[in-house]
Every structure is written in structure tokens, then in C-alpha cells.
Chains A and B, each alone.
Chain A
Amino acid sequence: MKNRKFITVILPLVAVCGLILLNALKSDPPLKHRNIADNAGLTLPAGFTGTALITGIGSARHIAVTPQGNIYVKINKLKNGKGIVVLHDSGDKAEVVSSFGDFAGTGMYIKNGYLYASSDENVYRFKLDAKNEVINPEHPETIVSGLISRHEHEAKAILLDNAGNLYVNIGAYSNSCQVKDRQKGSMGQKGCPILDSAAGIWQFKADKLNQHYSDGVRYATGLRNVMGMDWNYQDNQLFVMQHGRDQLHDIFPEIFDQKQSSLLPAECLYAINKGDNAGWPYIYYDQIQHKKVLAPEYGGDGKKAGGENAIDPAAAYPGHLAPNGLLFYTGNQFPAKYKNGAFIAFHGSWNRAPEPQAGYFVVFQPFKNGKPDGQWEIFANGFSGSQAQTESGRAEHRPCGLAQGADGSLYVSDDSKGTIYKITYKK
């Protein structure tokens, strides 16, 4: 008995410990490579450094950075009754300066001396002083109110151009415009009525108060839900990232298996001209067949092409990765190849289960003359914590908003743990 215990218990332990000790003795790694926390847990291309400036500030959605080093963060779930947090970046850490705004939401943008912010129904603005600080945090001006928010895709991403316009995403309150949302086998509504008031980008005047739907223009339609948008000044054009539809398998199991459903459809980058239609809900883009495919709700079989009137994406990415932030990089800090290219923050998937989840990273998409040019690559990875956390979807951090600092640093928000990352480059 004693002998057995020695063999089954003591011996393996001695062996394991011996191995650990041996390893520790022979390979104390050089300091430089030892700590992944060096980059706040992020994996970045050579020469880049990642820093977690602060954590625990709440569900940090979109962000805006001032030349004075303040970071305005829009919070999606009120914290101490406030929905905007102001941080000051002192280089390798940030401190909370103040918080204000009694509305939760996603959109945050600075333009022409104003801080614009959105709730799920309204867009507000706050006047900034010469130091880009909010003058009267208690009294925002209401720019737009009464936008649709119906229990799905409520968040209103916002953007301003140089011509005095405000762009607002109004997401579809539906997955695929079925008669019964997300129900197995339910077919698409004829002449999808959602498109009248949602599933598109609306354009409003940036400086006119109290606007409603009737004051706006439906600038682009057939976009199921857009979180990441930015203006490309090389081509003077709006670019948006669409969240593609969910649940091909759940709804049409006889056409799509779970594996196909986890990869399709693509998350698409669109270059938008006024009046464009991207085709939702009638079609989706299949990045494997490289074509617009008729949605099964409208008679599709996973192969039939559709969407003759719909624009093609400028670039397509794997399904369900949830692009929540888009930023054209115009700074000079990063190497030349990044200039005028696009960073895309992928929040990470959920609709791939039971297949492994994916995403939770920031992608770089090279551009040339205002158009995508070449293969996208993962720029910043490791937000989830580990491969296992990526695959289970139980990610530690989830990238959401992007902003560029005056010195060309890249800021990334995380709405899961409320971390703000700063990514810098040194030759």
C-alpha cells in the first residue's frame, strides 16, 4: 500500500516539480520577452507598444481624443448616473477628470468646437472652450430626437463631415425583416417596412437644433446595423462597416449547417455615396462565393445571386465578428504603410456557437487612393485573454471604439471591462 502511494502520488509529483525547476533554471527568459503584460496583454506588430491607460470606467463605447490629451468616453450603461467620462492621458496612464451627461449611449465625436454624443434615441452636443473642455456639461443642445430604438440594434453611431453634416446610423429592429423576427422558417416581409425609418444612415444638419426624421435625409439604405463609420478625406466619401445578419442555420436549417452559419455572411466595409442601397434584408454578401446572395427569407437557397441594385462591398471580412469601430489613420507616428489605411475594431462574435467564436481584435485594412488595397491583417490581438476565451466567447476585453490622438497614437476602448488602450509606435 505504502509503495503504491509512493508510485501513484509522490513519484509523478517529484517528476513534475523536477521538470518545472529544470525549466526555470535553464530558461529564465530575457526581460524583454517575458511579460505579455508589457503590451497590456496585446499582441502587436514589431515596434508598437500597447498600454492600458485605465480600466473599470464602465461600458466604454465610442471615444474622442482632444489635442490637449483629454479622452471623452461614451458609456452605454450609466455609471453613478453619468453617461460620459472625461479622462486625461498623462502618457502611460489616464485619470478620470469628471463625468457628466445623464444619458447612456454609444456615439461620441468632436467637430468644430462641439462634442457630439448620442443616446439610443437622440443626438446631443456640448460646446467646447479653447482647451476643448465642455463649457456647460449640464445643458446639452438637442440636435436630433425621436429616432427609432426597438429592442435590437438600438445604438446610434454618429459622424460629422467637413460640410456641416451629421450622419447617424439607425439600426434595423430586426435580424432579417422576417414576418416573425428570428423565428425558424418565417419568411421576409414583402417590401420590408423597416427600411422607411431604420436600417440605414440618416444625414442631418450638424448645427440645427431639434431636428426629427422629417428634417433628415436617408443618405444610405439597406444597411442592417452600422457601428463603425468614418469619412475618407482622400476620396471624400463615407465608409461604414455593417454588422451582417445572424442565424442562417437556426432559421433555415435545411439550407445551412451550423458551420456555414458560423462563417456567413461577411461583415462588410462599404464605400457610400448618397442614395446607395447595400441590399439588406433581401441579400447578404457571401465572402466565400464572392457574391451577393439572395436571402433565404426572400427565396434564396444559399447560392442564387441577388441584389442587382445593391452596391458591392469595398471589402469583406469573416462573419459575425461585429465591427464596432472604424478609423482612417491620418497620423504620422505609425510607419508609412498605415497612413490613410483603415483600422477596424471587431467586438467579437457570439452568433457562431456551437462553433468556436472569433474576433476580439483590431484589424488593419491597407488603402490606396481612398480604396481598400491588399489583404487585411490583424493589428492588435489578445483582448480576449486567451485562445480558449476567444473560442468560448468569454472574452476579458472587447474592442469597441477607436480614436486617433494628435500625436498619431491610436486609442481603443473596451466596453466589457472599461479599459482604454493606447497604442504607440517607436522606430
Chain B
Amino acid sequence: MRVKIIVSCVLMMLMYAGVQAQVKHKAKPKAKHATTGLAASIAKGKTVYMQTCVSCHQVDGGGVQNMNPPLINTTYVLGDKTKLITIVLNGFNESVEIEGNTYSNTMPSHDFLKDEDIANVLTFVRNSFGNKAPAVTTAEVTKVRAAVKKT
């Protein structure tokens, strides 16, 4: 028991020293550009997410077991933007299967959101929870909405 504690203390010391060394090598934080297009879109998108998506897809984007799918590295989130925008505009009820799991709940249409809000929330989702994918623009949402309306 005590030997274990001493050993873990030594380990901790080594680890801590390692972390310190790493921190040293890291470049100084870049000058803050909080208002770059992408950062601003992500920040605004987070607000939309926390109002309209969070109750189903959860704060960490991990979804709910058997009910609401995760938004983490799915082909829907990272893939074709037109399809992704359509999911938000029209809702989704097609029993998606992600890693062998299906989800029995309904994703409602969010066509009440403004084009800009949809662009921002999708840009936020595509750059959060470990996702990395290009931003969605308001113009892209406007185009998809027009196409969806026609059909």
C-alpha cells in the first residue's frame, strides 16, 4: 500500500516535470483574433446549439443512448453540406445507424431558424466535440432552402 503511494508520487513528479517541459516547447499563444469569421461563427453557433439542439444531442454532442445520435465524427456531420443542411431544415426520421446503433426518436424540422443561425450552428458542430470540417456559410443554407422549398 505505502510502497504503491511512494511509487506513484515519484511517477507523478516525473509526469509533472514532463508536462512542464512540453509547455515550454509550445509556441506562445497566437495573438487573439476572436472576431475572425470562423471564431465568430462558432461562438454564435454555440448559442443556437445551446438553445435548440442541446436537449437532444447534449452538451458534449454525445447524444443519448438509443434515442438521439451523437454528433461526433459522423458521416452526416463531416460529410456533404447540402445533406447536412437538409437534415436541419427538414428534420430527420430515417432510423440512422451509427456504429451499429439505431436511435428511436424524431428530429424535428428546424426551418424556423434563420439561414445565418443554421450556418453558424452547423459551423459550430463541425468544429466542436472533436470534429474538424469546413464552415457552412449563410449563402449555402439560402441555396439549399430554396431548393428544398421547390421539391
Contacts and interface: CB of A to CB of B under 8 A. Distances in A.
Partners in one complex: yes
B106 A250 contact: no
Nearest to A149: B104
Interface in A345-369: 350-354
Interface stretch (A17-25, A162-170, A268-276): A17-25
A353 B106 contact: no
A152 B54 contact: no
Interface in B1-37: 1-2, 5-6, 9, 12-13, 16-17, 20
Nearest to B5: A24
Interface string A151-191: 11110000000000000000000010000111111100000
Nearest to B21: A9
Interface string A316-360: 000000000000000000000000000000000011111000000
Contact of A416 (B16, B65, B67, B108): B65
Contacts of B13: 10, 13, 17
Interface of A: 8-10, 13, 16-17, 20-21, 24-25, 28, 59, 76, 151-154, 175, 180-186, 246-247, 249-250, 253, 261, 350-354, 392-394, 398, 416
A350 B68 contact: yes
A180 B2 contact: no
B12 A13 contact: yes
Interface in B65-113: 65-68, 91, 93, 95, 104-110, 112
A350 B106 contact: no
Contact of A17 (B1, B12, B17): B12
B11 to A, nearest CB: 10
B112 A185 contact: yes
Contacts of A76: 66
Contacts of A181: 106, 108
A393 B55 contact: no
A76 B67 CA distance: 13
A24 B17 CA distance: 24
Contacts of B67: 350
A250 B55 contact: yes
B16 A154 contact: no
Contact of A28 (B1, B17, B68, B91): B1
Q: How large is the interface on B (under 10, 10 to 19, 20 to 34, 35 or more residues)?
A: 35 or more
Given A152-B104, A183-B91, A353-B54, A24 B2 contact: yes
B58 A350 contact: yes
B31 to A, nearest CB: 26
B104 to A, nearest CB: 5
Contact of B64 (A182, A354, A393): A393
A391 to B, nearest CB: 10
B142 to A, nearest CB: 21
Contacts of A253: 51
A375 to B, nearest CB: 29
A392 B109 contact: no
Contacts of A13: 12-13, 16
Given A181-B108, A261-B55, 6 more contacts: A21-B9, A25-B2, A182-B107, A183-B91, A184-B108, A393-B64
Contacts of A351: 55
A253 B112 CA distance: 13
A374 B16 CA distance: 53
A158 B78 CA distance: 41
B50 interface: yes
B93 A151 contact: yes
12 contacts: A16-B12, A21-B2, A21-B9, A28-B1, A151-B104, A182-B106, A183-B91, A183-B109, A184-B110, A353-B54, A354-B50, A354-B59
Contacts of A250: 52, 55
